[in-house]
Each structure stands twice: as C-alpha cells, then as structure tokens.
Amino acid sequence: MPTSENNLNQRSVSVLLNILETTGSYQGMTDAEIQSVVDYEKQLSYMQGETSQTQQNYANHCASIQALTEAALQDQQIMLQSIIERASNPQLQVIQYG
C-alpha cells in the first residue's frame, strides 16, 4: 500500500494526461499514476455514456411531445372548422341545438 509520502509525490491526472498526450506512452509513470489515468478514463467514458443516454431520452421525450402537440393541433383545427361551419349555416344550428 502506498505511503502518504508517495501520495504527496504523485502527479495529478491532468499532468499525467498531458504527459500521455505529449509522449504517447505511460513511460515514466508509476503504477499508481497509470492506474489513476485508467480510472479517470474509465469514469469519463461512463459519464459520456450516461450523458449520451440522457440526451437520447430527452430527444425521445421531445419527439413524443411534438407528436402530441401536432395531434392536439389537428383536433383543434377540426373543432374550429366545425364551429365555423355551424356558425355560417343556420340549418346546422337548428339541428344541433333544436
């Protein structure tokens, strides 16, 4: 188990990622540092998957609301057309309300 002194000397993940990006290898990193990079990338991947799933759920929800809104609009247009037809045709008014 690493001592507290080793933990104090361990470089941050951001420094390690910069080294990895610059050199393209883990060379010069301790096992604990490599593990911290692997853990970080694993957590990042998990969060990206969660974000992607949340975005997909939101897109599905928006599409559902849009479909419901379109259906409600069509129903309103039919009802409005019916009201206009009744208002402009007195015979329909007598039959309807007679």
- pLDDT mean by block of 10 residues, the chain; 98 residues: 56 94 92 95 96 97 97 94 83 56
Q: What is the pTM of this model?
A: 0.56
Tell me what percent of the chain is helix, strand and coil, each rounded to the nearest 5.
Answer: 85, 0, 15
Q: How many domains does the chain have?
A: 1
Instruction: Considering only CA atoms, give the Rg of the chain.
Output: 32
Residues contacting residue 93 through CB under 8 Å, at least 6 positions apart: 86, 87
Give me the domain span that covers residue 18. Answer: 4-97
- Residue 12 is classified by DSSP as P
Packing angle of the helix pair 90-97, 31-88 (nearest 10 deg): 100
